[in-house]
Amino acid sequence: MSKKELFTPAWTEEAPRKGTYRSIFKWGDPAGFKHPNRRFYALMKDVFQMTDADFAQRQEEGNETVRSEQPIQLSDEQIRTFREMVGEENVETDDYARVRYTAGKTMEEAMKLRKGIVENPADVVVHPRNKEDVQRIVAYCGEQRIPIYPYGGGSSVTFGFHCTQGGVSLVMSTHMNRVVEFNETNQTITVEPGILGPAYEEMLNNAPQVFKAKRKYTGGHFPQSFEYSSVGGWISALGSGQQSSYYGDMYDIVLSQEYVTPAGSFRTFDYPGTATGPKVNDIMKGSEGAYGVLVGATLKLFRFMPENRQRFSYLFPTWEAAVDAAREISQGEFGMPAVFRISDPEETDVGLKLYGIEGTVLDKFIRLRGYKPMERCLYIGSTEGEKGFSKNVAKNVRRVCKAYGAMSLTGYPARRWEHGRYTDPYMREDLNDYGIMIDTLESGVTWDNLHHLHQGVRKFIKARPRTVCMTHASHFYPQGTNLYFIFLARMNDVEEYMAFQADIIDQIEKHGGSLSHHHGVGKMLAPWMEKHLGPMQMDVLRALKRHFDPHNVMNPGGTLGLDLPPNP
């Protein structure tokens, strides 16, 4: 290779300066980075028709100090009341805090913050110390008609807690991140909602030391946002972890919840099974802070047995074969793998680049065996559970994969994927720095509609010149799965991006996918809700909204489409 070909863009390597826009929109650890590798960089240049020169200068980095033009809409008296309720130190009104605790991780926000555009900051940021604080705040805001936006880890990609109408950003993760009760008999833990993934998982893995427990446990929930999302956010937005095919979605993992709502406070039951009418515990899940504030949750625990884990990867000749095998695995009743992920041909090709397989001797061998680029599909997975169970799952996976023409790639790609499972989002800033947009949309789907949805959405995205569209399915059920679309294009105009995104959402809806599989709805997908659910189902959600929050102070301004005008 010549020296010229070895050009590497000056990917950012410094933590953002404090107080800047960049410090808000940057993903994760301020000092954490993961840059595109050489093969991915080459791919981008190729697909986007860019040259090294296009990567010479970073653009709109958002290194300016945050300023908001928007005046605080609350009165001094109201702000003073909050200070009296929770203590001086737990109330912030400076521009930085107001913007920081309003901003999530949507592409739209990143694009706008890079340009110094601030929309709808909170009027005040309040850090409640306990549920009594939350009760006082909710009661007062109800009286005063002040909007409340519960904020957990800050990782929403749907404007979940965006302070559309100003008001209070209620930060649950500052203080309300404690353990209330660890119950080894029931295999449950009760926590406050503000606890983030790593703290939650670490104490469970170390339960013998932390709780004097007999065993080690796991929460079983590992979304990509794991390191920067909270238990409360997982529940409120109905998250699914990367091992959900075994452990279940957050919907399944939550045994009971405690809420403070404008209509009053309550805790649901811990019974694992009941027949006492519609389950209020389930009614509250996914309510995205629009019915009340989640102040406590009891979650099911699982035994931490990584020593039993089996990892595997297979390459299928076609997407159809990969889907058929995944369906057989999901319906075969031999137990579900935990990580379970099939990539379509375009994602497979990028994946083989990222995992360092493309272009190697192994790759040549694979191609010779008939697994061709832009046809072949990667499946990676791993198992959990008791040793014999885990082995039996892996054994049956192998049987099914062979039956559908797959070749084993060993556990190596699965390990590589595991290694990067939480760090891929770090690449977004690098791409954005050079005007490349990367975003995702995802959808739940039944088996019989999978190809229709995949082809429909992909066809639309690929109709745009020089646009990458990678798709995988990564959460499996006997009746279907999800499709996760990742799209990249050279694009940094906000309006252009929003129109493109809206069109993709239209395509998902039109092709019969659910509006969201595990990102939630927030205010981003809200305009599609009425059409998607239909007026009858929307009316049910609205009836509950009126019941819990008659004055619409809980996460108002679009959440779940509850307070949007009905579609024409």
Residues 216-275 that bind a second copy (CB under 8 A): 237-240, 249, 251, 255, 263-266, 268-275
Q: How many residues of this chain interact with a second copy, rule: CB under 8 A?
A: 90
Nearer to a second copy, 96 or 159 (CB): 159
Nearer to a second copy, 121 or 152 (CB): 152
Q: Is 276 in the site for a second copy (CB under 8 A)?
A: yes
Nearer to a second copy, 206 or 446 (CB): 446
Give the separation between CA 418 and CA 243, rounded to whole angstroms: 11
Can you name the residues that pair with 471 across neighbouring β-strands?
485
Give the separation between CA 100 and CA 95, rounded to whole angstroms: 8
Least distance (Å) from a second copy to the CB of residue 268?
A: 7
User: Which of 257, 343, 481, 507 lies at the binding interface for a second copy (CB under 8 A)?
Assistant: 481
Closest CA to 294 of 302, 306, 305, 286: 286
x/- map, 66-95, a second copy, by CB under 8 A: ------------------------------
Q: Is 157 in the site for a second copy (CB under 8 A)?
A: no
User: Which of 37, 396, 423, 440 lies at the binding interface for a second copy (CB under 8 A)?
Assistant: 396
DSSP label at 20? B
Nearer to a second copy, 463 or 536 (CB): 536
Q: Is 204 in the site for a second copy (CB under 8 A)?
A: no
x/- map, 485-524, a second copy, by CB under 8 A: -----------------------------xxxxxxxx---
- Positive or negative torsion for Cα 154, 159, 160, 161: positive
Closest CA to 252 of 291, 279, 214: 279
The string of DSSP codes covering 203-258 is HHHTHHHHH--SS-EE-----TTGGG-BHHHHHHTT---TTHHHH--HHHHEEEEE
Token pair, residue 256, equals 């009971």
DSSP label at 4? G
Region near a second copy per CB under 8 A, out of 109-117, 332-340, 350-358, 454-462: 332-340
Nearer to a second copy, 266 or 365 (CB): 266
Q: Is 481 exposed, middle or buried (0-12, 13-18, 19+ CB in 10 A)?
A: buried
Decide if 86 contacts 61 (C-beta within 8 A). Answer: no
Q: Give the position of tokens 């990609």.
A: 157
Region near a second copy per CB under 8 A, out of 56-64, 80-88, 107-115, 327-335: 327-335
Tell me which residues in 281-300 interact with a second copy (CB under 8 A): 282-288, 300
x/- map, 432-471, a second copy, by CB under 8 A: ------------xxxxx-----------------------
Q: Are strands 467-473 and 91-92 parallel, antiparallel or unpaired?
A: unpaired
Identity of the residue numbered 52: D
Least distance (Å) from a second copy to the CB of residue 126?
A: 24
Closest CA to 170 of 191, 189, 193: 193
> Which helix (H) or strand (E) element contains residue 445?
strand 436-446
Q: Is 185 in the site for a second copy (CB under 8 A)?
A: yes
Least distance (Å) from a second copy to the CB of residue 270?
A: 5
User: Which of 533, 554, 557, 558 lies at the binding interface for a second copy (CB under 8 A)?
Assistant: 533
Q: Is 174 in the site for a second copy (CB under 8 A)?
A: no
Nearer to a second copy, 78 or 156 (CB): 156
